[in-house]
Structure 1
Amino acid sequence: MSNLLSSWICPSCQTALVLHQNVWRCENNHSFDKAKEGYVNLLLAQNKNSKAPGDNKQMVNGRRAFLESGFYQALAQTITGMFKLHLSPSELDETINIFDAGCGEGYYLNWLAEHLSLPNDNLTIHYSGVDISKFAIQKAAKKYLNQQYAVASTFHLPLPSASQDGVLQIFAPSSELEIHRVLKDKGIWVVVNPASEHLQEFKFALYDSPTQHQAKPLEPQGFLLKQQFNLNFDLELPSKNQVENLLMMTPYYWSATEQKRQQLIEYVTAVTVDFDIRVYIKK
């Protein structure tokens, strides 16, 4: 069973926001309009690094087209398995909260909402996510009506402290302190980052001396590493459009020259996918 998150917190004063007549408002009278797509923009001007931070519309459209083609379904299934294995709500819990920090256009959070099953069938699960890209959140909220979305920075999460049972983070920067703050005691944090061989064919096509991804330290402060493994597989990309969509999901799209990008799109037909997956528990 799934339902919507009861409220966000105000990014200005960190008090609870309450939704009334399409306006989220706190006790200090800070207000944030609910957009027609259903999301709320909680990204304060001082937390923006540009006029339109995050992925642009072209990148978001490419990401949705690629993910909905099922190329990364194995990752979505694996993540769901991690939540099922490590989430441990008590028998007294009636609701649990799962949050996606850097949710993009909502593919993985929606997969969790549709496929996560827990032993207690009467448990209500709230799913929510934020991303710094307004274009991504617009697309997520418009399609996935049973989750709650907001435009916000992953370094300033608009969530009450100790409110989340699980946090998902895929290829997104964040503040470890913020993740620790919003998780309940013994809450889980599922983190996915590129491993050493991830999309190595792109790097070989774009750079003369490509370097491998460096693994992050194993145990952030305040967390216990519960599980760590790599998900590695080869991926055939039947069309140039799919190659370009995948390329747009990476930093390589903007760091390479136009000539290099076009050569890659023309000649790369398969890639190595290599995910570093870690499950942490808040101490």
Structure 2
Amino acid sequence: MNSDIPFWSCPTCQSLITLNNKVWCCENNHSFDLAKEGYVNLLLAHQKNSKEPGDNKAMVNARRAFLEQGHYQPLAETISQIFIQHVSTLENDSNKAFFDAGCGEGFYLNTVSQRAKSAQIDCVYSGIDISKNAVLKAAKKYPQNHFAVASTYHLPVQSTSQNAVLQIFAPSSELEIHRVLKEQGIWITVNPAANHLHQLKKALYDNPEQHKESQSLPIGFTLVEQQKLSFGLSLKTKADREHLLMMTPYYWTATEDKKLALIDNLQQVTTDFDIRLYQKI
């Protein structure tokens, strides 16, 4: 466990929780056990929409296998650069904190923490996901960072405690993001741009639609920067193709024969990411 202390808050009463003998506890005696893998479950029963919300074990394993092949490394490096550039201007902040709202199995959070460490930035790194399968995998592999099972609509961290929040392909509450960010804190969002994985969709559907990009500005934020990141991927093995397919919602909607044909034949796909940097005002 990292010696740095995360800013977890009690999901019941929102007060700060502290770790004592492998139990996270608040001043009102609400307690949450530290799992042997190093994470804490802060998802309350009424915040669940199913018995096991979020990605299942097979989907989490597919994402871990795909990302560890380095396919999305350019995206991870771009996010890291944005964060490092921001915190390098914060000379008087000795309690820097980075939060991943929808961290999955921890790949992006780990990349950011490693790049920032190389840049000699001292920071606390925390992430949450509603999928217990994902958080368990993240905590086992990256024990230097902090992970909790929680909803992105109920962020279990203290108000004005984070310098940056990252959100990749995950729903969230902009009010919650605004609450947990420090003054002038940044919110990095990553969503599919118009042609993201177009070849994959074309293999699965007769009339694939382009992704529609949001034009709205979140309340309480200013848009500092928007950039598109696009790069091609060579999918050399069936395993690569299946892992990518399982990372997408199309895995659940496409027909079985179309999915099998894709896994057999798809060689090249193009990514298209919409990256936005918002700042709290």
| Cα distance in 2 between the residues matched to 1:99 and 1:35 | 20
| Cα distance in 1 between the residues matched to 2:118 and 2:231 | 28
1:187 alignment partner, SS class: strand
* Count of matched residue positions in the alignment of Structure 1 and Structure 2: 280
2:189–2:277: 8 Å Cα contact kept in structure 1? yes
1:7 Cα deviation after fit: 3.8
131, 139, 145: which is aligned to 2:143? 145
Residue 102 of structure 2 is aligned to residue 82 of structure 1:
no
| Cα distance in 2 between the residues matched to 1:81 and 1:5 | 24
Look up the match of 2:226. 228
2:11–2:44: 8 Å Cα contact kept in structure 1? yes
Do the aligned partners of residues 179 and 82 (structure 1) sit closer, same or farther apart at CA in structure 2, a change above 3 Å counting?
same
Amino acid at match of 2:193: A
| Cα distance in 2 between the residues matched to 1:89 and 1:131 | 29
* Structure 2 unmatched runs, 5+: none
Do the aligned partners of residues 4 and 255 (structure 1) sit closer, same or farther apart at CA in structure 2, a change above 3 Å counting?
farther
Amino acid at match of 2:152: T
1:4–1:148: 8 Å Cα contact kept in structure 2? no
CA displacement, residues 220-243 of structure 1 (integer Å, 9 cap, x when unaligned):
111010000100111110001101
| Cα distance in 2 between the residues matched to 1:3 and 1:74 | 30
Residue 242 of structure 2 is aligned to residue 244 of structure 1:
yes
1:203 Cα deviation after fit: 1.1
183, 188, 195: which is aligned to 2:193? 195
1:237–1:270: 8 Å Cα contact kept in structure 2? yes
Do the aligned partners of residues 6 and 235 (structure 1) sit closer, same or farther apart at CA in structure 2, a change above 3 Å counting?
closer
CA displacement, residues 51-91 of structure 1 (integer Å, 9 cap, x when unaligned):
10111111111100100100010101111111122335532
- Most deviating of 83-92 and 97-106: 83-92
Residue 34 of structure 2 is aligned to residue 34 of structure 1:
yes
Look up the match of 1:134. 132
| Cα distance in 2 between the residues matched to 1:188 and 1:64 | 27
Q: Aligned runs of 1:38-187 on 2, under 5 Å?
A: 38-87=38-87, 90-116=90-116, 121=120, 124-187=122-185
2:6–2:126: 8 Å Cα contact kept in structure 1? no
Identity level (%): 58
Amino acid at match of 1:267: N
Look up the match of 1:208. 206
| Cα distance in 2 between the residues matched to 1:133 and 1:5 | 23
CA displacement, residues 121-158 of structure 1 (integer Å, 9 cap, x when unaligned):
4x520000000000000000001011000000000000
* Structure 1 unmatched runs, 5+: none
Alignment TM-score, normalising by the size of structure 1: 0.95
262, 265, 279: which is aligned to 2:263? 265
1:181 alignment partner, SS class: helix
2:16 alignment partner, SS class: coil
2:226–2:275: 8 Å Cα contact kept in structure 1? yes
1:176–1:220: 8 Å Cα contact kept in structure 2? yes
| Cα distance in 2 between the residues matched to 1:108 and 1:91 | 25
1:166–1:188: 8 Å Cα contact kept in structure 2? yes
Alignment TM-score, normalising by the size of structure 2: 0.96
| Cα distance in 2 between the residues matched to 1:269 and 1:195 | 21
- Most deviating of 84-93 and 65-74: 84-93
